[in-house]
Structure 1
Amino acid sequence: MKSTLFTLVSLISPLLAIDPIEIVGNKWFNSKSGEEFIIKGVAYQPGGSGKQDPIANTSQLANAIKLFKELGINTIRVYEAYGHLNHDKGMKMLADAGIYVIFDLSNPKTSINREDPKYDTTILKAFTQKADNFAKYDNTLAYFAGNEVNNDITNTDSNPFVKATIRDMKAHMKAQKRYIPIGYANNDDEKTLKNIVDYFNCGKEEERIDFFGYNIYSWCDDSSMKASGYDKKTDMFKNYGIPVFFSEYGCNEVRPRKFSDIPHLYSSPMSDVFSGGLIYEFTEEANNYGLVKVNGNNFSKLVDFDTYKNQLSKLDLKLANKKSYKAPESDGSKCPKEGSNWKASNDLPPTPSVDACNCLAKTFNCVVSKSYNVTAENSDAGKLFGYACGEGKVDCTRLAADGSKGRYGDISYCDPTTQLSYAFNALYTKSKKNKETCPDDGKHSTQSPSESDEKKCLAMTHNLSDKAPETIGNPDTDDTSKDLPEDSSSDSDKQKGKNGSGNSGSNGHYLLPSFASLAVATLITSLFI
């Protein structure tokens, strides 16, 4: 994929060793040569979720790249990497090997929680920081704003929050030096898939995804186009208008795997619709999908490695050229109708504003103490919210966000600390500043407001063209692997075989605190009814 010009330039600039890829219509193209780019790759997260940043661990990555080259792949998907770390060396190593990277923007602590969906300043800051960190690398292929957040009919109300992150990240990337496409990946749930496919590709252009990632595990052993449902899925996406690829695939109900779907995926009619795919996954983890076993920074091949390698080696790809390619005309999909199995409003949450939340906090007389960490795993913040809001002592409607009805309180996007400060202050004000409602107990703190005009605060909007700060908060607690849970997948994720990956759960569960788990979110949301 390297052009002669870029090979020469790479001697001067270590970040220009590979040609950027761009989207035209429903295909990816090399921006320099104009040749169609078809994804041949693997999911790469050694150790599983929450263990490490696999791009920053360059000793291990160097050994992995040798095997990537032997496989003949051109893309890896990395679920978790951390924006405050330096990735220059790792990304250059990958670029020199002709490897592109698709990053998930979320991590277990900053993602949309499917059980208690909210989109706040913490998530926006984390997403923009990560996007800015990797945008400078020409081999950054794309970003996923979410992965299987809505995984069945019980949590379709999470979709407006994910779609809002897509809207904001697209606006942010358009203001930067290089636009990186923003997409979404979802599972193969038969009751929600079609609605999700349409929902993320409908409405205003600035709200629609640039591409769709399909996590599919329906082709097992010696299946067929019909038995696996590949024929119907190809038909579903044939007029979608934007690129679609398998963001995870490789059923493991029968091992060793044969990957007998690969000749179909990479030839017509599937190759007319899908831009290749990513085998799940490179390293063997608890859910038994690996091509290799990991031992420290070293790897040993499993049987599936050679099988996948052999399947790829047989491919005879028929690639389009950008000059002769005629992109299909598309205005997106038709938005799905709301019903019993689909409760996702087309009205999206507002863009979170850090300035508005910071200003608003300055209008309070009672706030959260600086020494109290609201988002710590052992925090009892849920109980404090429950006391102020859940028992009806104060009106917390302004904190609530309801994706099914499209109703979002005017400070629902503020971070948990600002929201708890609002609840403290409301209770303190209602009690006519009774000291007992704002005690000096290490959780509450009184202050003299330095701002008085709440309306002025709420009028402050976030400038999405601004670059994210180099670090967000304290990276030792926000982003490093030592503070992440050992595995963000549930036990059912690990054992569900053909239906999905262990990493798929990371976007749905671990934004702390999960007030839904403490029944507070339900009580707050009831105020909308």
Structure 2
Amino acid sequence: MKWRFRLLFSLIVALQLSFNTAAIDPLVIKGSKFFNSKTKKQFFFKGVDYQPRSHDSRTNLDPLSEVDACLRDAKILKELNVNSIRVYETDYNLNHDKCMAALEEAGIYVILDIATPLYSINRNTPFWDVSLYDNFKKKVDAFAKYPNVVAFLIGNEITNDRLTTPASAFVKASLRDIKTYIKANNYNVYVGYADNDDEEIRVSLINYFNCGDDPMSRADFYGINTYRWCGPKTTYESSGYAEMSEPLKGYSIPVMITEYGCNTVRPRNFNEVSAVYGENMIGIYSGGFVYEYSQEENDYGIVKITNGKAEKLPDFYELKKMYTIEPSSQTTFDSYNPSLKVSECPQITEFWKVKSKILPPTPSIEYCNCMADTFKCSTSQPSQNGKSLSNSEKSLGKVVDYICGTVPCNDTSTDTLRGIYGPMSFCSPLQKANYIINKKFLAENEGSSACSYNTINTSINKDPKVKELSICNKFSKQIDLKPSLESTPPKNDPPKKKSNSHSTKPGTTLQLALICFVLMFIKYVF
């Protein structure tokens, strides 16, 4: 009889372990390195950039929402010896459960770009406002729940030359606010930034995203998109990799190559992989991501997708061979005790136009809405409509420009060179325009002619809901940090009851089998 109890006890223990075992181990950052939190070994990303476009009759550019294509590609990625992918464009409104579960079961971690073409910081006319903040938070909410989502990229090559350095101030503000949001909601994900390896500004960018006293304003890791290494005869020195690595020695956060794989010399033999995971680089870099998975017009693909079928190109087999290389690092979480310092902030120069220690404020929708409730003169016509401006939007812009030539508009403007950011600078374009229109109206003693323009429709409200703008000041620091997607069902899913689980986890089949076996054992043996 004792053997029956022993066997039953063993089965129950196995069942308990199956519930506690995830298909993929969490990754953690310590100093300038990633580690597997279970094995304590240093982790290196051996990845590809994954963004198939317009191959599977899809109606969107979110590859993680296309279940059949994702299940197909997860198997191919596993064959490639990949342990991670970077995905540029996703839609938080869609469902990603099955794809993310398939990638998790294949042992593949995911790094996601937060921004999309419609919601991103514009390098030429940068701003960080309530709309972008809301969309970025929703992206985090939609993906942070998946165990294999390691991190988000807050921006990709937004500052890409000396003329666009002011944009970095707004990127860093978004980094601060999204990291704060992640911490408030106990999400176990990191946030980094990827640059374009521009010679004039790269050192300033490297330092900028790792400087300052506030840890929320510093990136958790740093990415570099680089195509320096070209051809089979290139070396660590001749490629420029040695030069690229120099300012990263002693860097206090992890660095990875978020894009690489020059295609000017064919076929690509990817011999740079041996350097990325070799002794010259593993002390600084945590691996990288080859650009890219699918064959597109730019001719970087390693897989060609036609009518739902994936054909492995010669580059696939070259990369597969190189991805058998294992880094020789013996560093473990417990043995690694870094004493690294954060970077010095870059000074203003002809190449860097940002006062580094001052950032734009955190957007507050409550403050903006309160401000809008004070207006006595305003317009209701839209101030922004997609990428191109309509005639009405252009007309409103001209009115605003005219007014700002007669009254100060500092409250809605920004100046990265001096580190000045107006208290309304994060409000919507329409709210800012109305603030300026209303300001002129008040300055001209609220005469009816002061609220009349030939090219836009305006109206006068003699009894606004909020009487004084100063009343709104209490909302300027009131930031909504609650998850934003709790009651938003995915668009492509039918209505369903709430569940504590976001998907059928890998291992569920094993758990069900063990439960059935235990029940049968009890029924027929006892």
Q: How far apart in 1 are the matches of 2:147 and 2:329?
A: 25
TM-score by length of 1: 0.82
Are residues 459 and 469 of structure 1, via their aligned partners in 2, closer, same or farther at CA, if it must alter by over 3 Å?
A: farther
TM-score by length of 2: 0.83
Q: What are the Cα deviations for residues 143-189 of structure 1, in whole angstroms up to 9, with x where unaligned?
A: 11111111011111111111111111111111122231111100111
Secondary structure in 1 matching 2:289: strand
Correspondence 1:212 to 2:222: yes
The equivalent residue for 1:200 is 209
Q: How far apart in 2 are the matches of 1:160 and 1:63?
A: 40
Stretches of structure 2 that go unaligned for 5 or more consecutive residues are: 1-11, 493-526
Asked if the contact 1:102/1:143 (under 8 Å) is kept, the reply is: yes
The Cα shift of 1:70 comes to 0.8
Secondary structure in 1 matching 2:39: coil
Identity of aligned residues (%): 37
Asked if the contact 1:84/1:471 (under 8 Å) is kept, the reply is: no
2:416 to 403, 410, 415: 403
Q: How far apart in 2 are the matches of 1:375 and 1:367?
A: 19
Q: What are the Cα deviations for residues 406-452 of structure 1, in whole angstroms up to 9, with x where unaligned?
A: 11111011011211222332344455342684579985454441111
Are residues 198 and 8 of structure 1, via their aligned partners in 2, closer, same or farther at CA, if it must alter by over 3 Å?
A: farther
Are residues 440 and 360 of structure 1, via their aligned partners in 2, closer, same or farther at CA, if it must alter by over 3 Å?
A: farther
The Cα shift of 1:10 comes to 9.5
The Cα shift of 1:389 comes to 2.7
Most deviating of 441-450 and 214-223: 441-450
1:466 to 482, 496, 499: 482
Correspondence 1:19 to 2:25: yes
The equivalent residue for 1:500 is none
The equivalent residue for 2:448 is 434
The equivalent residue for 2:471 is 456
Asked if the contact 1:375/1:416 (under 8 Å) is kept, the reply is: no
The Cα shift of 1:462 comes to 3.5
1:266 to 256, 262, 277: 277
Most deviating of 445-454 and 433-442: 433-442
Q: What are the Cα deviations for residues 326-374 of structure 1, in whole angstroms up to 9, with x where unaligned?
A: 2x212301111111111111211011111000111111123342x7463
The equivalent residue for 1:300 is 311
Secondary structure in 2 matching 1:227: coil
Correspondence 1:252 to 2:263: yes
Q: How far apart in 2 are the matches of 1:48 and 1:318?
A: 40
Most deviating of 418-427 and 330-339: 418-427
Q: How does 1:291-330 map to 2 (within 5 A)?
A: 291-315=302-326, 317-326=328-337, 328-330=338-340
Q: How far apart in 2 are the matches of 1:48 and 1:184?
A: 27
Correspondence 1:338 to 2:344: no
1:413 to 426, 430, 433: 426
Asked if the contact 1:166/1:209 (under 8 Å) is kept, the reply is: yes
The equivalent residue for 1:522 is none
Instruction: With a CA cutoff of 8 Å and minimum separation of 6, indicate the structure with the bigger relative contact order.
Output: 1
Most deviating of 83-92 and 310-319: 310-319
Stretches of structure 1 that go unaligned for 5 or more consecutive residues are: 477-529
Secondary structure in 1 matching 2:166: helix
- AA aligned opposite 1:389: D
Q: Calculate the aligned-residue CA RMSD, in Å.
A: 2.8
- AA aligned opposite 2:226: I
Secondary structure in 2 matching 1:225: coil
The Cα shift of 1:395 comes to 3.2
Q: How far apart in 2 are the matches of 1:263 and 1:9?
A: 41
Q: What are the Cα deviations for residues 235-270 of structure 1, in whole angstroms up to 9, with x where unaligned?
A: 321200110010000111112211111111101120
The equivalent residue for 2:395 is 383
Q: What are the Cα deviations for residues 460-511 of structure 1, in whole angstroms up to 9, with x where unaligned?
A: 1243632234589x999xxxxxxxxxxxxxxxxxxxxxxxxxxxxxxxxxxx
Q: How far apart in 1 are the matches of 2:312 and 2:335?
A: 41
